[in-house]
Amino acid sequence: MNARDRLPDAAQLAWRAQRVRQATLAMLAGLSAEDCLLQSMPEASPVKWHVAHVTWFFETFVLEPREPGFRPYDASFRELFNSYYVGVGARHPRGQRGLLSRPPLERVLGYQETVLQRLLDWLERGAADPQALALIELGLQHEQQHQELIATDLKHHFWHNPALPAWRPAREGAREDPGALTFRRYPAELAQAGHDGEGFAFDNESPRHRVWLEAFELAQRPVVNAEYLAFVEDGGYERPELWLSDGWDACRREGWQAPLYWLRQDGGWHTYTCAGLRPLNGAEPVCHVSYYEAEAYARWAGARLPSELEWEHAARQAGGVQDGDFAESGHFHPRPLEPGHSAFFGSVWEWTQSAYLPYPGFAPAAGAVGEYNGKFMINQMVLRGGSCATPASHIRPSYRNFFWPAARWQFSGIRLAR
Amino acid sequence: MNARDRLPDAAQLAWRAQRVRQATLAMLAGLSAEDCLLQSMPEASPVKWHVAHVTWFFETFVLEPREPGFRPYDASFRELFNSYYVGVGARHPRGQRGLLSRPPLERVLGYQETVLQRLLDWLERGAADPQALALIELGLQHEQQHQELIATDLKHHFWHNPALPAWRPAREGAREDPGALTFRRYPAELAQAGHDGEGFAFDNESPRHRVWLEAFELAQRPVVNAEYLAFVEDGGYERPELWLSDGWDACRREGWQAPLYWLRQDGGWHTYTCAGLRPLNGAEPVCHVSYYEAEAYARWAGARLPSELEWEHAARQAGGVQDGDFAESGHFHPRPLEPGHSAFFGSVWEWTQSAYLPYPGFAPAAGAVGEYNGKFMINQMVLRGGSCATPASHIRPSYRNFFWPAARWQFSGIRLAR
Amino acid sequence: MNARDRLPDAAQLAWRAQRVRQATLAMLAGLSAEDCLLQSMPEASPVKWHVAHVTWFFETFVLEPREPGFRPYDASFRELFNSYYVGVGARHPRGQRGLLSRPPLERVLGYQETVLQRLLDWLERGAADPQALALIELGLQHEQQHQELIATDLKHHFWHNPALPAWRPAREGAREDPGALTFRRYPAELAQAGHDGEGFAFDNESPRHRVWLEAFELAQRPVVNAEYLAFVEDGGYERPELWLSDGWDACRREGWQAPLYWLRQDGGWHTYTCAGLRPLNGAEPVCHVSYYEAEAYARWAGARLPSELEWEHAARQAGGVQDGDFAESGHFHPRPLEPGHSAFFGSVWEWTQSAYLPYPGFAPAAGAVGEYNGKFMINQMVLRGGSCATPASHIRPSYRNFFWPAARWQFSGIRLAR
Amino acid sequence: MNARDRLPDAAQLAWRAQRVRQATLAMLAGLSAEDCLLQSMPEASPVKWHVAHVTWFFETFVLEPREPGFRPYDASFRELFNSYYVGVGARHPRGQRGLLSRPPLERVLGYQETVLQRLLDWLERGAADPQALALIELGLQHEQQHQELIATDLKHHFWHNPALPAWRPAREGAREDPGALTFRRYPAELAQAGHDGEGFAFDNESPRHRVWLEAFELAQRPVVNAEYLAFVEDGGYERPELWLSDGWDACRREGWQAPLYWLRQDGGWHTYTCAGLRPLNGAEPVCHVSYYEAEAYARWAGARLPSELEWEHAARQAGGVQDGDFAESGHFHPRPLEPGHSAFFGSVWEWTQSAYLPYPGFAPAAGAVGEYNGKFMINQMVLRGGSCATPASHIRPSYRNFFWPAARWQFSGIRLAR
**pLDDT, tens digit, for every residue of A361-380?**
998 887 778 888 899 999 99
More confident residue, B382 or D88: B382
Question: Could you give phi then psi for residue C382, rounded to 5 degrees?
Answer: -85, 140
Using the Cα atoms of residue A356, residue A357, residue A360 and residue A363 in order, give the sign of their dihedral: positive
Cβ of D240 within 8 Å of Cβ of A379? The answer is no
Asked if B163 and A102 come within 8 Å (Cβ–Cβ), the reply is: yes
Put simply, the answer to whether A37 touches B34 (Cβ < 8 Å) is yes
Beta bridge pairs of residue A224: A285
D203-219 tens-digit pLDDT: 999 999 999 999 999 99
Helices A47-57 and A10-27 cross at an angle (nearest 10°) of 170
Record: contact C76-D163, CB cut-off 8 A: yes
Provide the CA B258 distance to its chain's centre, in angstroms.
22
Q: What is the mean pLDDT of residues A235-242?
A: 96
Mutate to test the interface with C, among B375, B377, B382 (most CBs of C within 10 A): B375
Is the CB of D38 inside 8 Å of chain C's CB atoms?
yes
Whether A242 and A299 have beta carbons less than 8 Å apart is answered as yes
The phi and psi torsions of D213 (rounded to 5 degrees) equal: -105, 125
Are the CB atoms for A376 and A356 separated by under 8 Å?
A: yes
For residues C281 and C391, membership in a common domain is answered with: yes
Residues B249-278 have a mean pLDDT of 97
Backbone angles phi and psi of B10, in degrees to 5: -60, -45
Are C301 and C393 part of one and the same domain? yes
Q: Are residues B135 and B215 in the same domain?
A: no
Cα→Cα distances A307→A85, A189, A384, D166, Å: 30, 15, 10, 47
Confidence bin at D1 (pLDDT 50/70/90): very low
The proportion of chain B whose per-residue pLDDT surpasses 70, expressed as a percent, equals 96
Domain shared by D91 and D227, yes or no: no
Strand locations in D117-261 (E): 183-186, 189-193, 209-213, 216-219
Q: Does residue D46 sit at the C interface (CB-CB below 8 Å)?
A: no
B378–C244: do the CB atoms touch at under 8 Å? yes
3-state secondary structure chain A: CCCCCCCCCHHHHHHHHHHHHHHHHHHCCCCCCCHHHCCCECCECCHHHHHHHHHHHHHHHHHCCCCCCCCCCCCCHHHHCCCCCHHHCCCCCHHHHHHCCCCCHHHHHHHHHHHHHHHHHHHHCCCCCHHHHHHHHHHHHHHHHHHHHHHHHHHHHHHCCCCCCCCCCCCCCCCCCCCCCCEEEECCEEEEECCCCCCCCCHHHCCCEEEEECCEEEECCCCEHHHHHHHHHCCHHHCHHHCCHHHHHHHHHHCCCCCCCEEEECCEEEEEECCEEEECCCCCECCCCCHHHHHHHHHHCCCECCCHHHHHHHHHHCCCCCCCECHHHCCCCCCCCCCCCCCCCECCEEEEEEECCCCCCCCCCCCHHHHCCHHHCCCCEEEECCCCCCCHHHCCCCCCEEECCCCCCCCEECCCEC
Q: For residue D59, what are the contacts with CB-CB under 8 A and spacing of at least 6? A: D72, D73, D77, D115
Q: Looking at chain C, how many residues does it have?
A: 418
Q: Mark D217-239 as b/e (b = at least 16 C-beta within 10 Å).
A: bbbbbbbbbebbbebbeeebbee
Is omega for the bond preceding A259 within 30 degrees of 0, making it cis? no
Q: Are D310 and D183 in contact (CB under 8 A)?
A: no
Query: Residue D4: its pLDDT value, please?
Result: 40
- Report chain C residues whose CB lies below 8 A from the CB of D104: 32, 34
3+ Cβ–Cβ pairs closer than 8 Å linking C and B: yes
Look at residue B177 in the predicted model and tell me its pLDDT: 85
Phi, psi angle pair for A307, to nearest 5°: -75, 160
Residue D221 covered by a domain: yes
Say if B175 falls within a structural domain: no
Q: A164 in a domain, yes or no?
A: no
What is the distance between the alpha carbons of residues C348 and C410, in angstroms, rounded to a whole number?
Answer: 9
Mutate to test the interface with D, among C45, C157, C161, C164 (most CBs of D within 10 A): C161
Same domain, D80 and D30: yes
* pLDDT tens digits along D390-414: 999 999 999 999 999 999 999 999 9
The answer to whether residues D242 and D367 belong to one domain is yes
Is residue C259 located within the same domain as residue C359?
yes
Per-residue pLDDT tens over the stretch C265-306: 989 999 999 999 999 999 999 999 999 999 999 999 999 999
d(CA B155, CA A267): 46
Burial of residue C114 (number of CB atoms within 10 Å: 0-12, 13-18, 19+): middle
Q: Does B75 contact A at CB distance below 8 Å?
A: no
Query: Do C214 and B210 make contact, defined as CB atoms within 8 angstroms?
Result: yes
Q: Do C38 and D99 lie within an 8 Å CB cutoff? A: yes
Q: pLDDT tens, A322-348?
A: 677 999 999 999 999 989 889 999 999
Q: What is the pLDDT of residue A405?
A: 98
Which of C301, C297, C284, C331 lies closest to C177, judged by CA? C284
Q: Do residue A220 and residue A331 come from a single domain?
A: yes
Angstroms from C379 CA to nearest CA on chain B = 6
Please indicate, yes or no, whether residues C227 and C376 belong to a single structural domain of this protein.
yes
Judged against a pLDDT cut of 50, whether residue B3 lies above it is answered with no
Distance CA D249, CA D406 (A): 10
What mean pLDDT comes out for the span B274-286?
96
**pLDDT at residue D174 tops 50:** yes
Q: Grade residue B127 by pLDDT with cuts at 50, 70 and 90.
A: confident
Q: Residue A55 pLDDT > 50, yes or no?
A: yes
Question: Does the structure show a pLDDT above 60 at B169?
Answer: yes
What's the rounded Cα separation, in Å, for the pair D195 and A366? 40
C-alpha D160: how far from its chain's center? 21
Residues of C in contact with D35 (CB under 8 A): 101-102
Position B66 in a domain:
yes
Which residues of chain D have a CB within 8 Å of the CB of C33? 32-34
Residue C177 maps to a domain:
no
Q: Report if residue B169 sits inside a domain.
A: no
Specify whether C73 is located in the same domain as C189. no
Tell me how far apart the alpha carbons of residues C35 and D46 are, in angstroms, rounded to a whole number: 14
Q: How far is CA A95 from CA A40, A44, B260, D252, in A?
A: 9, 9, 21, 17
- Identify the domain boundary among A124, A159, A194: A159
Answer whether residue B166 is part of any domain. no
pLDDT band at D3 (very low <50, low <70, confident <90, very high): very low
Contacts of A112 by beta carbon, 8 Å cutoff, 6+ apart: A21, A24, A51, A52, A54, A55
Tell me, yes or no, if B37 comes closer than 8 A to chain A by beta carbon: yes
Distance, CA of A75 to CA of D410 (rounded, Å)? 47
pLDDT tens-digit profile of D284-338?
999 999 999 999 999 999 999 999 999 999 999 987 666 779 999 999 999 999 8
Return contacts of B248-252, CB within 8 angstroms, 24+ apart. B248/B292, B250/B290, B250/B292, B250/B405, B250/B406, B251/B292, B251/B293
Mean pLDDT, residues C137-145: 97
Average pLDDT in the C355-359 region?
97
C361 vs B contacts (CB less than 8 Å)? 214
The stretch B363-376 carries a mean pLDDT of 85
Indicate the pLDDT class of residue D25, thresholds 50, 70 and 90.
very high
Q: How many domains does chain A have?
A: 2
Apex C287 CA angle, C283 and C288, nearest 5: 155
Nearest residue on chain B to A35, alpha-carbon basis = B101
Longest dimension (CA), chain A: 66
The CATH number assigned to the domain holding D292 equals 3.90.1580.10
C-beta of residue B82 within 8 angstroms of C-beta of residue B49: no
Share of chain D above pLDDT 90, in %: 86
Q: What are phi and psi of C63, to 5 degrees?
A: -75, -50
Say whether B32 and A33 touch across the interface (CB within 8 A): yes
Burial environment of residue A210 by CB neighbours within 10 A (0 to 12, 13 to 18, 19 or more): middle
Q: What is the pLDDT of residues D179-197, one digit of tens each?
A: 999 999 999 999 999 998 8
Q: What is the DSSP letter of C332?
A: -
Instruction: Give the predicted TM-score (pTM) of the model.
Output: 0.95
What are the phi and psi torsion angles at C352 (to 5°)? -115, 165
Smallest Cα distance from B157 to chain A, Å: 7
What was the pLDDT predicted at A348? 97
Judging contacts by C-beta atoms under 8 Å, the chain B residues touching residue A165 are: 102
Number of Cβ within a 10 Å radius of residue B1: 21
Mean pLDDT (chain B) is 94
In angstroms, rounded to a whole number, what is the distance separating the alpha carbons of residues C272 and C276? 6
Torsion of CA C136, C138, C144, C147, to 10 degrees: -90
- Residue A347: closest CA among A290, A296, A412: A412
Minimal Cβ distance to D101: which of C35, C92, C96: C35
CA distance D403 to D381: 6
Question: Residue D152: what pLDDT?
Answer: 98
Q: Say if B104 is an interface residue toward chain A (CB within 8 Å).
A: yes
- From C357, C361, C375, residue closest to B353, measured CB to CB: C357
**Are C136 and C233 within one domain?**
no
Which residue range forms the structural domain that includes residue C207?
A: 183-413
Are the beta carbons of D291 and A378 separated by less than 8 Å? yes
Domain check: are D98 and D240 in the same one? no
Note the pLDDT of residue A198.
80
- For B84, the closest chain C residue by CA position comes to C245
Residue C326 · residue C173 · CB < 8 Å: no
Question: Cβ(A88)–Cβ(A177) under 8 Å?
Answer: no
Is the Cβ pair B165, A102 closer than 8 Å?
A: yes
- Whether the Cβ atoms of residue A394 and residue A198 lie closer than 8 Å to each other: no
First to last CA, chain D: 34
Residue contact D165–C102, C-beta within 8 A = yes
Last residue of a domain, one of A110, A144, A159: A159
